[in-house]
Amino acid sequence: MRIISIYLRDSNTSSDSGIILHYAMVGFYSLFWTFQGLACLETIAKSRLSLLAKPNTFAN
């Protein structure tokens, strides 16, 4: 909400720039860690699928 009011006011002060930078960094880190988590999940899923695809050599 603060970001919207800053842009609607149409006068950015240095503190406004700090607020904007803060929210931009929070957004960047949120996206970064989301994609990192998805990459880890993808790696885990691929390793499990490869284990399931191997023939069971211990069966009698």
6 vs 23: CA distance, rounded Å: 12
The average confidence (pLDDT) of the chain is: 77
Task: Output the pLDDT for position 38.
Answer: 93
7-25 pLDDT, tens per residue?
Answer: 556 666 667 777 778 888 8
Whether 5 has a pLDDT exceeding 80, the answer reads: no
pLDDT band at residue 48, thresholds of 50, 70 and 90?
A: confident
Mean pLDDT computed over 19-46: 89
pTM of the model: 0.51
